[in-house]
Chain A
Amino acid sequence: MVRYITVKLLYMLFTLFILATATFFLMKVIPGNPFLGEKKLPTQIYNNIMEKYGFDQPLYKQYLKYMNNLIHFDLGTSMKSTHLTVNKIIHSSFSNSAKLGIAAIIVSIIAGIGLGIISALYHGKVIDHFTSILAVIGVSIPSFVIGPLLQYFLGVKLGWFHVAGLKGPLDYIMPTITLSALPIAFIARLTRSNMIEVMNAEFIKTAKSKGLAKSFIIYHHALRNAILPVVTYLGPMTANIITGSVVVEAIFGIAGLGKYFIDSVTNRDYTLIMGVTLFYAAILMIMRFCTDVAYVFVDPRIKLSGREGNA
Chain B
Amino acid sequence: MASNTRDSLQAHSSSLEWRDDIFRPDDFEDIDVYRSPGPDLQRESISAWRDAWLRLKSNRMAMFWLTILLIIVIMSIVGPLLTPYDYYTNDLMNTNKPPSAEHWFGTDDLGRDMFERVWMGATISLRVGLFAALIDLFIGVIYGGIMGYFGGRVDEIMNRAAEILYSIPHILIIILLVVIMTPSLFTIVLALGLTGWVNMAWIVRGQIMQLKNMDYVMASRSLGASSARIIFRHLIPNTLGPILVTLMLTVPSAIFAEAFLSFLGLGVQSPAASWGTMISDARSAMTVFPWRLFFPAAFISLTMLAFNLFGDGLRDAFDPKMRK
A contacts, CB < 8 Å to B: 11, 14-15, 18-19, 23, 26, 29-30, 136-137, 139-142, 144-145, 148-149, 151-152, 156, 205, 208-209, 214, 239, 242-243, 246-247, 250-251, 261-262, 265-266, 268, 273, 277, 280-281, 284-285, 288, 311
In the bound complex, do residue A148 and residue B279 qualify as a contact, i.e. CB atoms below 8 Å apart? Answer: yes
Cα–Cα, bound, A284→B169 (Å) = 7
In the bound complex, do residue A140 and residue B305 qualify as a contact, i.e. CB atoms below 8 Å apart? Answer: yes
Cα–Cα, bound, A11→B256 (Å) = 30
Known contacts A142-B300, A247-B263; can you find 13 more A-B pairs with CB under 8 A? Answer: A15-B164, A137-B301, A140-B252, A140-B305, A148-B282, A148-B286, A152-B293, A208-B19, A243-B169, A247-B260, A261-B172, A265-B179, A284-B167
Q: Closest CB-CB distance, B316 to chain A, in whole Å?
A: 12
In the bound complex, do residue B308 and residue A136 qualify as a contact, i.e. CB atoms below 8 Å apart? Answer: yes
Provided the pairs A136-B305, A144-B280, A247-B263 are in contact, do residues A15 and B180 lie with their beta carbons within 8 angstroms? no
Partner of B309, one of A18, A136, A246: A136
Q: Closest CB-CB distance, B12 to chain A, in whole Å?
A: 13
Provided the pairs A136-B308, A148-B293, A284-B168 are in contact, do residues A156 and B287 lie with their beta carbons within 8 angstroms? yes
Residues of A contacting B180 with CB < 8 Å? 26, 29-30
In the bound complex, do residue A142 and residue B260 qualify as a contact, i.e. CB atoms below 8 Å apart? Answer: yes
Residues of B contacting A26 with CB < 8 Å? 176, 180
Residues of B contacting A11 with CB < 8 Å? 160, 163
Partner of A280, one of B169, B286, B309: B169
CB<8 Å pairs between A and B, sample of 28: A11-B160, A15-B164, A15-B167, A19-B164, A29-B180, A136-B308, A139-B308, A141-B301, A142-B259, A142-B300, A142-B301, A144-B280, A145-B279, A145-B297, A148-B279, A148-B293, A149-B293, A152-B290, A205-B22, A214-B18, A247-B263, A247-B264, A262-B264, A265-B175, A265-B266, A268-B179, A273-B179, A281-B168
Cα–Cα, bound, A194→B263 (Å) = 36
In the bound complex, do residue A246 and residue B290 qualify as a contact, i.e. CB atoms below 8 Å apart? Answer: no
Cα–Cα, bound, A262→B178 (Å) = 13
Provided the pairs A18-B164, A277-B172 are in contact, do residues A148 and B283 lie with their beta carbons within 8 angstroms? yes
Residues of B contacting A208 with CB < 8 Å? 19, 21-22
Using a CB-CB cutoff of 8 Å, which residues 182-205 of chain B contact chain A? none
Residues of A contacting B293 with CB < 8 Å? 148-149, 152
Cα–Cα, bound, A266→B23 (Å) = 62
Contact of B211 with A by CB under 8 A: no
Q: Closest CB-CB distance, A240 to chain B, in whole Å?
A: 9
Provided the pairs A144-B280, A148-B286, A285-B167 are in contact, do residues A209 and B176 lie with their beta carbons within 8 angstroms? no
Using a CB-CB cutoff of 8 Å, which residues 16-36 of chain B contact chain A? 18-19, 21-23
Partner of A243, one of B168, B171, B304, B308: B171
Interface of A is mostly: helix
Q: Nearest B residue to A182 by beta-carbon distance?
A: B256
Q: Closest CB-CB distance, B55 to chain A, in whole Å?
A: 19
In the bound complex, do residue A144 and residue B259 qualify as a contact, i.e. CB atoms below 8 Å apart? Answer: yes
Residues of A contacting B167 with CB < 8 Å? 15, 281, 284-285, 288
Cα–Cα, bound, A30→B176 (Å) = 11
In the bound complex, do residue B168 and residue A144 qualify as a contact, i.e. CB atoms below 8 Å apart? Answer: no
Contact of B80 with A by CB under 8 A: no
Q: Closest CB-CB distance, A185 to chain B, in whole Å?
A: 10
Cα–Cα, bound, A250→B280 (Å) = 10
Q: Closest CB-CB distance, B159 to chain A, in whole Å?
A: 9
Residues of B contacting A151 with CB < 8 Å? 286
In the bound complex, do residue B279 and residue A152 qualify as a contact, i.e. CB atoms below 8 Å apart? Answer: no
Contacts between chains A and B (CB distance < 8 A), count: 108
B275-318: contact bitstring with A at CB < 8 Å (1 yes, 0 no)? 01001101100110010010001001100110011000000000
Q: Nearest B residue to A274 by beta-carbon distance?
A: B176
Contact of B170 with A by CB under 8 A: yes
In the bound complex, do residue B266 and residue A144 qualify as a contact, i.e. CB atoms below 8 Å apart? Answer: no
Q: Closest CB-CB distance, A170 to chain B, in whole Å?
A: 20
Residues of A contacting B169 with CB < 8 Å? 239, 242-243, 280-281, 284
Q: Closest CB-CB distance, B307 to chain A, in whole Å?
A: 8
In the bound complex, do residue A156 and residue B286 qualify as a contact, i.e. CB atoms below 8 Å apart? Answer: yes
Residues of A contacting B98 with CB < 8 Å? none
Q: Closest CB-CB distance, B275 to chain A, in whole Å?
A: 9
Residues of B contacting A247 with CB < 8 Å? 260, 263-264
In the bound complex, do residue B176 and residue A277 qualify as a contact, i.e. CB atoms below 8 Å apart? Answer: yes
Q: Nearest B residue to A147 by beta-carbon distance?
A: B283
Q: Looking at A214, A265, A280, A285, which has the most chain B CB atoms within 10 Å of its CB?
A: A265
Residues of B contacting A140 with CB < 8 Å? 252, 301, 304-305, 308
User: Top 9 closest A-B pairs, CB basis?
Assistant: A140-B305, A140-B304, A145-B297, A208-B22, A243-B171, A141-B301, A144-B263, A15-B164, A214-B18
B242-265: contact bitstring with A at CB < 8 Å (1 yes, 0 no)? 000000000010001001100111
Q: Closest CB-CB distance, B160 to chain A, in whole Å?
A: 8
Contact of B206 with A by CB under 8 A: yes
Cα–Cα, bound, A242→B265 (Å) = 18
In the bound complex, do residue A251 and residue B283 qualify as a contact, i.e. CB atoms below 8 Å apart? Answer: yes
Cα–Cα, bound, A87→B215 (Å) = 59
Q: Closest CB-CB distance, A114 to chain B, in whole Å?
A: 21
In the bound complex, do residue A239 and residue B164 qualify as a contact, i.e. CB atoms below 8 Å apart? Answer: no
Residues of A contacting B172 with CB < 8 Å? 261, 277, 280-281
Cα–Cα, bound, A208→B17 (Å) = 13
Cα–Cα, bound, A96→B234 (Å) = 54
Residues of B contacting A156 with CB < 8 Å? 286-287
Residues of B contacting A23 with CB < 8 Å? 176
Cα–Cα, bound, A156→B287 (Å) = 7
Residues of B contacting A262 with CB < 8 Å? 264
Q: Nearest A residue to B276 by beta-carbon distance?
A: A144
Residues of A contacting B160 with CB < 8 Å? 11
